Amino acid sequence: MTPEAARNRYEGAWRSFAKDLNQLQKELSAAVAEGKVPSLHELLQSLAWVPYVEAKKLFNARDKTSGNIGSVTGLFFELMVCSIVAPFLARELPGVEVAYNRRVGGIDPSLPRDPDISVRFGGRTAVIEIKVSPKKRSLEEALERRKTHLEHGTAYYLVGGGVSANRELLTAFAAPAWACFMTAPDSNVELLKGLPKLDAVLQNAVEYLRARG
């Protein structure tokens, strides 16, 4: 196979994949916008680990090392979260401004400049961060970031994939509904059931953004 032929095949595979994924995003967003998804949490839960499973098959197909599958999973987890969060906010808050990887206006410049999602509505602002595999350190950072953001007039929320931490730390995320996680190790499955779901976190964000004064 010539380099040109190989490139054409490779580009074709990526174009086909990107086209299918973009179509899925559009369909997910439309379903959320139309209120046709009974549970946003269950929807994201069903999608979260598909890239990990399929990438693992890809890397192991020819006895290769697994590679950095986590980075692949994180990228596509973020895409799915955005496909759900943005249309939900737009449905509940007509005219809301949603930005990705940058701050919307009104957020204190001392806060991080590139949050995964930032939102502004009616003079209020919020930040939503996405972590596919949050562990002890990133969870502790999230607790501190929430405190700092609130001190500067911006709400802070966290959408996590597979969480790994001790019970004591996880209980700090029980209330109010500002963080959610899709899965946890067997030792924390029961605790996870008592933590907020994505639906509650987003509804909390909506109520905050709607509030005045």
Residue 46 reports pLDDT greater than 80 = yes
State both tokens at 52: 């990990």
Report the residue count for the chain. Answer: 213
Q: In this prediction, what percent of the chain has a pLDDT beyond 90?
A: 76
Q: Is 26 a residue whose pLDDT tops 90?
A: yes
pLDDT surpasses 70 at 81? yes
DSSP state of 93: S
Is 130 in contact with 81 (CB distance < 8 Å)? yes
192: how many CB neighbours lie within 10 A of its CB?
A: 16
Q: What is the pTM of this model?
A: 0.92
Contact 157, 179 (CB under 8 A): yes
Closest CA to 141 of 172, 109, 100, 167: 172
Q: Does residue 165 have a pLDDT over 90?
A: no
Place of tokens 């994505």: 198
Q: What angle separates helix 69-92 from helix 3-33, to the nearest 10 degrees?
A: 30
Q: For residue 119, which phi and psi values (nearest 5 degrees)?
A: -135, 140
Specify the pLDDT at position 73: 87
Rounded CA separation 118/128 (Å): 6
User: In terms of pLDDT, which residue wins out, 73 or 63?
Assistant: 73
Question: Do 83 and 25 contact (CB within 8 A), yes or no?
Answer: yes
Name which residue leads in pLDDT, 159 or 64.
Answer: 159
Phi-psi region of 79 (alpha: psi -120 to 50; beta: other; left: phi over 0): alpha
d(CA 66, CA 18): 23
State the pLDDT at residue 62.
55
Q: What is the pLDDT of residues 106-119, one digit of tens each?
A: 999 999 999 999 99
Q: Which residue has 């759900």 as its token pair?
A: 84
CA angle, 42 then 185 then 72, to 5°: 65
Mean pLDDT, rounded, for 144-152: 97
Residue 66 has pLDDT above 60, yes or no: no
Q: pLDDT: is 175 or 125 the higher one?
A: 125
pLDDT tens readout for residues 167-197:
889 889 988 999 999 998 877 788 888 899 9
Assess whether pLDDT exceeds 80 at residue 139: yes
- Strands (E) located in the chain: 97-100, 117-121, 124-131, 154-162, 179-183
**Both structure tokens of 202:** 């987003």
Residue 64, pLDDT above cutoff 60: no
139: exposed, middle or buried (Cβ count in 10 Å: 0-12, 13-18, 19+): buried
Q: Which residues have a Cβ under 8 Å from the Cβ of 28 and sit 6 or more positions away?
A: 43, 80, 83, 84
pLDDT of amino acid 190: 83
pLDDT of residue 67: 59
What is residue 167's predicted lDDT score, i.e. its pLDDT?
Answer: 83
Of 32-36, 90-94, 170-174, least confident by mean pLDDT is: 170-174
